[in-house]
Amino acid sequence: MDLIANLNPSSSAHWVFIAFVLVLAYLAFLKFRYSNQFVLILKSSFSQKHANQFLREESNSSHKLYLLPVFILTFALILCQQQPTISQYALNIFWIGLFFITKYFCLFFLGFIFEKNYLFEEVIFQSFLYEKVIGVVLFPLTLILFYGPFQAQIIHEVIIVFLVIVLVYKWLRMLYLSFFNSSLPKAHIIIYLCTFEILPLIIVAKRLC
């Protein structure tokens, strides 16, 4: 009991530990149930060859690798680290989930309007690919943020720098693919980046300032 108390001095936030256990169990299930797809999607973030293979296998298979919930649950924990209440955590999950759902249906609707669903299928895949991969990497960092021996402020800054680097990498990679991959139209990618990537960040930044 003393060891548990030392590791987790915040005894009033046992739900945080339970949330970590649930996310870890979910990750373990995906890793062992969809081992090949799990490794393939990690490689897809920096290899177009593996990205095309993963997109092709996902489209032709009824078994889907749902990694996006890992990012949503983990990122929601980071946002409520200063105020770890289960109500705030649930609210963060709601807003993050609503953003991704709205983003998906807007992209799907645009593909339907332009009658280019086959093109927007790849745009949608590239749009959510990095959040799926980031969730896997973000989980151990979030665990250290809450239970590690380091100062929370330092780990929080490391996470912010990591997210910014990955976000810039995502934008540059999508621009690269749009200019050097004929299947991704340049105009659509630029409109997507401005509307669904940059604009939400500007809105959030203004609300925080």
| The pLDDT of residue 190 | 75
Confidence of residue 37 (pLDDT cuts 50, 70, 90): confident
Q: What percent of the chain has pLDDT over 90?
A: 13
**C-beta neighbour count of 200 within 10 angstroms:** 13
Please write the tens of the pLDDT for every residue from 6-15: 444 444 468 8
| The pLDDT of residue 23 | 93
- The reply to whether the predicted model has a pTM over 0.85 is no
Selection from 161, 164, 156, 8 nearest residue 81 by Cα: 156
| The pLDDT of residue 112 | 67
Contact between residue 138 and residue 74 where contact means Cβ atoms under 8 Å apart: yes
Please write the tens of the pLDDT for every residue from 79-137: 888 878 888 899 999 999 998 888 888 777 776 666 555 555 667 777 788 888 888 88
| The pLDDT of residue 11 | 42
* Residue 99: its H or E element: helix 86-113
| The pLDDT of residue 12 | 46
Buried b (16+ CB within 10 A) or exposed e, 41-76: bbebbeeeebbeebbeebeeeeeebebbbbbbbbbb
Question: Above 60 in pLDDT, residue 38?
Answer: yes
| The pLDDT of residue 156 | 87
Confidence of residue 73 (pLDDT cuts 50, 70, 90): very high
Question: Above 90 in pLDDT, residue 48?
Answer: no
**Four-point Cα dihedral 56, 59, 62, 66, nearest 10:** 90
- Please enumerate in sequence order all residues whose Cβ is within 8 A of that of 82, keeping only pairs 6 or more positions apart, or say none: none
Higher pLDDT residue, 74 or 173? Answer: 74
- Tell me the three state secondary structure of residue 149: coil
Question: Above 60 in pLDDT, residue 1?
Answer: no
Q: What percent of the chain has pLDDT over 70?
A: 78
Amino acid at 82: Q
Question: Above 90 in pLDDT, residue 22?
Answer: yes
Question: Above 50 in pLDDT, residue 61?
Answer: yes
